[in-house]
Amino acid sequence: MEGQKIGGRYDIEKKIGEGGMAVVYRARDTLLNRTVALKVLRSQFGNDDDFIARFHREAQAAASLSHPHVVNIYDIGQEGEMYYIVMEYVEGMTLKQYINEHAPLDVKQAVNIAIQICDALDHAHQNELIHRDIKPHNILINRYGRIKVTDFGIARAVSSVTITHTGSVLGSVHYFSPEQAKGIMAGAKSDLYSLGVVLYEMLTGTLPFSGDSPISVALKHLQEPYIPPRKLRPDLPQSVENIIIRSLAKDPMYRFESANEMLEELRTCLLPERRDEPVYLLPEKYAIEEDPEITRIIPAIKPEMMRKKSWDEPEEARPVKEWRKASTSTESAAVKQNSAQEPEEDEDESVGRSWKRVLAWGFGIVLFLTLAFVGSFYGFTLLNVPDVTTPAVEKLSLQDARQKLEAVGLKPVIQQQFDPTVEADHVIKQTPPANMSVKKDSEVQLIVSQGKQKAGLPNFVGKNIDDLADQLRGYKNVRTEEEANDSQPAGTVLSQTPEAGAQVVADETEIVLTVSKGGGKIVMPNLVGLTEEEMKTKMSRLGLKIQSETKSSYQPQGTVIDQSYRADTELKKGTWVRVTVSSGLPDEARRVRTPVQVYLNAGETATIEIRVTDASGKNRMVEKTPISQSMEFKVPIVVTPSQEAVIQVFRDGQQIDEKHIGYNDAQ
């Protein structure tokens, strides 16, 4: 795709990465002139309407996040059958690449990275957005060590799809939480578990669970213990290992309550007073004993407790199990000793007890089988969700569409957008489309029209009607009404309907502007000395008509040199005024530049002023400047056969020279 332009503005430069879900390109946003990352979804996702509907909702939710450690989402779009996301471009590498090159990381560096990730998760969780696929591949690190978490919302859209697109588990099972491995909906604590796996990997260079297949790894997340980090890295502070122990608890109940709580632990774990804190014991695995001599109640040993001890079982679990084994042996010896001291029981009583035991076991087995059957029946009933056919609701009103979907047990999800062809509050498109077989209680995305695009009406009040032609173009109709007004010049907009700021559709809106026609009479202004353009603008605003003529003169070309009515004359609106504009110098006039030399002694400074009296005017200032050395000035003059030029030179306000240039001298 390199060299292509998509969305009319994104020039694809090169491929910079790919994964199971998308291919990532570096691109140039030609509209805003910036480099962006363009993530193009693979085709198998683009063909799934359910995924696309969720993808749009979740990407929009993720775009609402604004945090220094979250990759910004700028835009989402579609080009044919291709769906893409435009994101902030981060120059660097993924955390996975960094771990592969540098692991195990320095403890302080690993904790700092975890703090930045956890800070991003805390922000997302507070905005009710769960990532669901935290792994080093989705974490970017720039050359300054700054962390950016990406793929917020996209992972949620993937995990919400019930059909796998590849025939395997979506996501990275090595970073799955146990509840994700079970297929249970992941929550905020699932992100914390995955962050614990990432921290474990950064500090040890290995993953806590690995296997030959995704299924075997998932089962280990559910059932098996991991090698404690301090066994692999003895220099690791106990406070850091405690964070990993708590975040990797198989039961979410014993993990951190929130990302904010884990963030506080990470921020303080390297303080000197915390480095050698006691080992954190998970309540579901260990009993905390205060006094080894107190009397204890020893539970009966169950078959699952007799399993062979794993070689990588946490060291702190051994005293508990050895104590239980010793206590159980003592109890067994005590039972035997008591049995030896008791008299032999009656044989009939023994037989009676045997029959009672058999009946009790039999009743228990029957009860168990009955409960298992009932549970299986209701479980099958609950899981066997019936299929329904999606009704056609496109072009229907939103109310009618809701009723049709809810009537067959489907849930409408609304997304609104402007559309010039579909009436407001009517359905533009539905996903999945009509006549598709879906599970009851599934969501159907409805894109609902907001009608034509509306925009705020500009404020025209106080502006001249002649200056508004471009702004008023495109409206259905513009009507003006004149009103006499002594305070505002003629042509000034006094009021407008609709009011400024009103949300309107341009080609459906009629605008009425009330325009000042000035007072009862118009006072003629002084036009002499104005340029021709300035004169025309002023006369148009006053409502006076112009009869223009040109005449050679000693004034610059295009300058007004005469008017038929003197200034301050009262005229009626629409009166014709003859205005004379200079066409330039007469043929006999000569315009030349005459050199004038001014001398200064070394080290002197002075302000030089040059004035000219010639055919174009009297005592004109043509130069005034400070100098610090001798200088020659080129002075412009206009002379005629009957009018010479007089040049006067002043130094610090005192005249030092006067020069006369005649007609024959001006060559």
Catalytic residues: 133
Residue 27's DSSP bridge partners are: 12, 36
Q: Residue 573 burial by CB count (10 A; 0-12/13-18/19+): exposed, middle or buried?
A: middle
**Paired tokens of 238:** 């106990």
Cα distances from 106 to residues 126, 279, 314, 665, in angstroms, run 30, 21, 24, 90
DSSP 355-419: HHHHHHHHHHHHHHHHHHHHHHHHHHHHH-PPEEEPPP-TTSBHHHHHHHHHHTT-EEEEEEE--
**Paired tokens of 118:** 């956890």
**Paired tokens of 514:** 């009330």
**Paired tokens of 157:** 């859209």
Ranges of H-type helices in 69-187 = 95-102, 107-126, 154-159, 178-182
Distance CA(605)–CA(652), nearest Å, equals 10
CB 471 within 8 A of CB 548: no
- Provide the residue count of the chain: 667
- SS3 letters across 502-557: CEECHHHCEEEEEEECCCCCEECCCCCCCEHHHHHHHHHHHCCEEEEEEECCCCCC
Distance CA(280)–CA(548), nearest Å, equals 97
CA-wise closest residue to 244 among 209, 286, 194, 278: 194
- Between the two ends of the chain, the Cα-to-Cα distance in Å is 70
Distance CA(553)–CA(567), nearest Å, equals 21
Distance CA(536)–CA(568), nearest Å, equals 18
**Paired tokens of 282:** 């998970």
Distance CA(101)–CA(103), nearest Å, equals 6
**Paired tokens of 600:** 């200064």
Where is 661: in which H helix or E strand? strand 654-661
**Paired tokens of 256:** 């951190």
CB 39 within 8 A of CB 12: no
CA-wise closest residue to 531 among 578, 582, 569: 582
Q: Which residues contact 324 (CB under 8 A, 6 or more apart)?
A: 298, 301
